Every structure is written in C-alpha cells, then in structure tokens.
A = this chain, B = another copy of it.
Amino acid sequence: MPRTEPQTVLILGGDGFCGWPVALDQSDRGRRVIIADNLSRRKIDADLGTSSLTPIHGPDARLAAWRALSGRSIDFVDLDASIGFDGLVGLLEEYRPDAVVHLAEQRSAPYSMLTPAHRNYSVRNNVMATQNLLSAISQSGLPVHIVHIGSVGVYGYSSKDWTMPEGYLTVRVPASAHPDREVEILHPFEPVSVYHLSKCLDAQLFEFYARHDRMRITDLHQGVVWGSQTRLTSLSDVLINRFDYDSIFGTVVNRFLVQAAMGHSLTVYGTGEQTRAFIHLPDAVHCVNLALENPPAPGQRARIRNQVAECLRVVDVATMVATQTGAEVSFVDNPRVEDARNSLAVANDSFAALGFAPTLLRDGIWQEAVGIAQRFRASANPDLIQLDGRAQCAGEPL
C-alpha cells in the first residue's frame, strides 16, 4: 500500500492525554479533524479526587485558542462511543472520514483493578467502544482506516526467550501424521490487569473484522509514555496537555519527575528490576501519523506495530531522573502482582522502516526534568505522591 494522506480524521478520545496532542498534530498538517469524546477522563479525575498537574482548559477554550493561533478549526462532538452506536454512524455519514484514531478507552491498569465496578467498566467501555466502531464502519460501507492505540503490555512481563515481534509469532506445530508445519499466529496474550485484558479483547475483535469484513486496521502496541507536551501543546497555556502524576493514571517517569520537583524521594516498586518499554509523547504522536499515512490494504490482517522506543528497567529510569534532579531513590513494597524482575526485548522494525528515530530517555529526560514538573510543582498535591506502595493500587489483589 503506498503512502497516503488522509484528508479527514475522526479522533475518538481526542480530549485525552494522547488524543489531544494527536488532534493538534493532525490539524496542523492541514487535515480536517473531528474530536468525539465524552470527557470521561476529566470525570474520572472528579471521582478519584485526582487532577492534572497542569491546569487544563475545557474543550471549547482549547479549540478557540487553537483557531486563533493556527487559523484552523477542529470540530468537537460529545459522544460516548461505548453506548453511542447511532452517534458513530451519524458521524461517519456526516464527515466521511478517511481514518478514525480510536483512543476512546479507559487507559489505566491500576484504575481497572480498583473494584469490581472498575473492572466491569473497563471491559464494557473498551470492548463496546471498539465493537461499536467496527460495526458502525461495517454498516457505513466506507473504506475507513482505523488506528487504535493498544499496549505492548498485552503479552505480560514474564521473561521470554524471544524478542517480542510486532503482533504475530511464527511457530511450528508438531503434527503427528505430517511433517511439522509453520504457522503465523497472533502472539499469545498474558495480560497482567483488566485494562490489558481489554486490549487483548480488542485485538480479537480486530482480527475478526479485518478477516471477515476486510476492514483496514492498524493496532499500535504502545509502551509506557513519558513526557506530557508537544511543540503544539506548548504554544499556549490554553493548549497545555494534561500531566498525571498520581499512582492511578501517572506513568512511572512522570511520577518520578514530580516527586523530584517536590523534593520527595523517587519511589521504586519492589526491586525496580521490572523491565518495561517506553516512548516519548511527541514520538507517540509522530508514530500515530506514520501509521495513518501507511494503512494496510483491505483484506490484510490487522497491522500491528510496536510503538516503542526502548526497553528500560524501572531502577534505571529512577537513576536517570535522580542524576538530573539530585533526588534520592527509595524502594517500597510492590503493590502489583508482577515478577520481581524480567527481561524484555521488543521489536520496533515497522516504524524504523518508516524513518522513525526515537528520542531515548537518557537524551530527553533533562528537558523534562527542568520543564513542566518544575514549573507547576507548587500545584502538586502531596497526597497524590506521598503514597506508600500498598495504598497505590487499593483493591488490587496482592
């Protein structure tokens, strides 16, 4: 499939942490952009008593500021994709998008494990948003390319003897009456939370609709995102992107940066020898665009790309932040059910082949360390960072 420029892009979840910078980036490229979002991430903050370190503005203010700065308009539609099948069909008919970026999912593993209600919500919301979208596109008959953000964590973090390939694994099936046969299968899943489980369910939906309905689908298996701003979100304080540092929605690098800015020690769970995959937020936004411009052909299986820059141990991340900031590192009991240490290697050939040259944490952490976390440290809520290990995943089985 040759490189192609989508003209119109619908972004489900375009008010969120990844969705908002993706929306600005797509609009900046001169594409017609429509955000559909039910503001669930803001409502979850209200429920949990958490908030973004950066003061984020409402969608109307953001879009007016963007219009004033860029001369470009983004439409906003209040829609819950998990229950809004008819609304999705209406949007497809009205805008006839070339592509849909699907970010309309609950994105926190700890949140998904808080209580049975959070488990059920995470499954229902994520599975039904995906099913409704696939079903609405099938109904519309439009050749829409779906770009979905999944997680590289769907494969779990038990050490494996092989480098994590991009979605598919070639194996040999020992057959009794035949010579062994090589088959390419969806890489087996081993989710460690209900959130990750919901992404496995998505993958099964994508496999079906790509095969049965010849739908064009890209599933981006993203690593842990660090950083919070892009060139465009930094243009004005009204455009600023959210920055989560609590133990439910804050990812590890961002939590460390706020802890350092507040003079708190960096709290590493367990041994810190857990290895995870990472990517810088501006790189994630760039990769979404590369995916949009390089869709699979109809009839191809879902295209899975690992959206990952590097794999690092948590203790090494802490050491890098400590070196930049002078913070101390402290080890706390691990509240999560996970191996104390694991090896991890993740292929990212697919984006490399499209020219993606990632920012590594060791090169970018300095700028983050003197950036947003320092600037807004006075607004940080000490209750959200001074947690001992055990309280941080309340309700998760230990």
Contacts and interface: CB of A to CB of B under 8 A. Distances in A.
A212 interface: yes
A124 interface: yes
A135 interface: yes
B116 A123 contact: no
Contact of A175 (B124, B162, B194): B162
A46 interface: no
A173 B161 contact: yes
A82 to B, nearest CB: 9
Interface stretch (A6-14, A181-189, A247-255, A304-312): A181-189
Interface in A346-398: 397
A191 B171 contact: no
Contact of A174 (B135, B170, B397): B170
Contact of A188 (B127, B185, B192): B185
A131 interface: yes
A130 B200 CA distance: 16
Contacts of A117: 85
Interface stretch (A63-71, A201-209, A236-244): A201-209
Interface in A36-64: none
A128 interface: yes
A1 interface: no
Nearest to A122: B131
Nearest to A200: B204
A177 to B, nearest CB: 8
A119 B178 CA distance: 38
A191 to B, nearest CB: 6
A211 B135 CA distance: 31
Contact of A205 (B175, B183, B197, B212): B197
A18 interface: no
A181 to B, nearest CB: 5
Interface of A: 85, 116-117, 119-120, 123-124, 127-128, 131-132, 135-136, 138-139, 161-163, 169-178, 180-181, 183, 185-186, 188-192, 194, 197, 200-201, 204-205, 207-208, 211-213, 337, 397
Given A123-B128, A185-B185, A204-B204, 17 more contacts: A85-B120, A116-B136, A116-B138, A119-B138, A120-B132, A123-B131, A127-B127, A162-B173, A169-B173, A171-B172, A172-B172, A183-B188, A186-B188, A189-B207, A197-B205, A212-B397, A213-B397
6 contacts: A127-B127, A163-B176, A191-B208, A200-B204, A204-B204, A212-B397
Q: What 3 A-B pairs are tightest by C-beta distance, nearest first?
A: A171-B171, A116-B135, A185-B188
